[in-house]
Amino acid sequence: MSIFPFLDNVDEFTSNEELPIAREWAWDFESNDFKLNNGKLFIVEGLEAVKIWTFKALRTDRFKHTVYSWEYGSEINSLIGSGFTSAAIESEVKRMIGEALMNSAYIVGIDNLIVTSDGDSLNISFSLDTVYGNTEVSV
């Protein structure tokens, strides 16, 4: 057991067991809705599934929805209109993204984080390093 509470599950992620293939319902990031194939939902796997999970985890308010565990989601929306300096917002976003994403066994790291604030909105983009390879994420 770790002295750091957010690292309690490290053993779970470093076991010799093989990870199941990541699967998510296909998502259209531009329309912010499910993708359909012949009018039906469909499932994607691997890198695309991890990207969808990441997008949804960052867009879901942590602690707000009882259907999700307290480990799922982020607190990024709390920064909008906070009055913090750009440097403070960027620092907090890095921390919050780490807390929201790094508990996934499929995510290895986050690089090239860019945070811009425009009044009442935050634009965040970064490179996501996963067990399936790298992808770009924008939220």
Q: How far is CA 128 from CA 17, 82, 83, 119, in A?
A: 23, 27, 28, 26
Task: Provide the residue type at 86 as one letter.
Answer: S
> At a CB cut-off of 8 Å and minimum separation 6, what does 85 contact?
none
Model pLDDT, residue 132: 96
Model pLDDT, residue 61: 85
Model pLDDT, residue 59: 87
Burial 96-112 (b: 16+ CB within 10 A, else e): bbbebbebbbbbeebee
Cα(111)–Cα(115) distance, integer angstroms: 12
> Which burial class, exposed, middle or buried, applies to 31 when counting CB atoms under 10 A from its CB (0-12, 13-18, 19+)?
exposed
Per the structure, the count of domains in the chain is: 1
Domain region containing 30: 5-138
Instruction: Please name the helix (run of DSSP H) or strand (run of DSSP E) that holds residue 52, with its range, or none.
Output: helix 47-59
CATH of the domain at 131: 3.10.450.40
Q: What residues in the chain have per-residue pLDDT under 70?
A: 1-16, 119
CA geometry: angle 129, 135, 138, nearest 5 deg: 110
Model pLDDT, residue 41: 96
106, 63, 42, 125: CA torsion to nearest 10: -60
Model pLDDT, residue 119: 66
